[in-house]
Amino acid sequence: MRFILGLTGGIGSGKTAASQWFETQGITVVDADIVAREVVEIGKPALQKIKDHFGDWVLLEDGALDRRALRDHIFKHPEARKILENITHPAIRLSIIEQLQRATSPYAILVSPLLFETNQHQLTQRTLLIDASTELQILRASQRDHQDIEQIKKIMSAQMSREEKLKRADDVVINDGELDHLYQQLAVKHQYYLDITQQA
């Protein structure tokens, strides 16, 4: 069985920097956020199901999903989120499994901001948390996404707490803002994961 590493972290923690580093080492990375966008592309069954349930207003003129309209609707009608998740989550999970199975690197990585919340950690043998202080997360996310701080705090409060993630993760790397420091820690973990795959 292929060794799968689950990589997670809160908003602005540095997940992308970490996953990109692993890719430079030749490791296959499957990003749950990208998969979530792929499963609702034009022509995909999940998009048809969303339209059938919510109505034509969820589509743009070109037939693509109107993400903003759907996001606003879910914000106003919280019960709609569960319906949407029931449509998309099985499709996302299936696509993630297929992509991980196609990986040819010594091990593969599943990157997901909601690794624990969506039980995607069950697809992995080990989990790695990219951790950063709350202050640093807010600073990075506000600079990167140009979102206001209150919006970022709302996103953070809707996700599993940093403390809970620290408890659940098998491995933790601290991202204090120095990329060299992050990469040094990742290099040690990478060697450790290679060793695990060789022992399996």
CA terminus-to-terminus distance, the chain: 8
**Edge-first strand listing for the sheet containing 4-8:** 28-31, 108-111, 4-8, 126-131, 171-174
Domains and CATH numbers, the chain: 1-27+105-200 (3.40.50.300), 36-94 (no CATH)
Q: 167 exposed, middle or buried (CB, 10 Å; 0-12, 13-18, 19+)?
A: exposed
Whether 134 has a pLDDT exceeding 90, the answer reads no
CB 117 within 8 Å of CB 159: yes
This prediction has a pTM of 0.89
Q: What is the DSSP letter of 123?
A: G
Tokens representing residue 196 in the block: 């695990």
CB atoms within 10 A of CB 184: 11
CB atoms within 10 A of CB 77: 10
Three-state secondary-structure class, residue 76? helix
How confident is the model over 29-87, as pLDDT tens digits?
A: 999 999 999 999 999 999 999 999 999 999 999 999 999 999 889 888 989 999 999 99
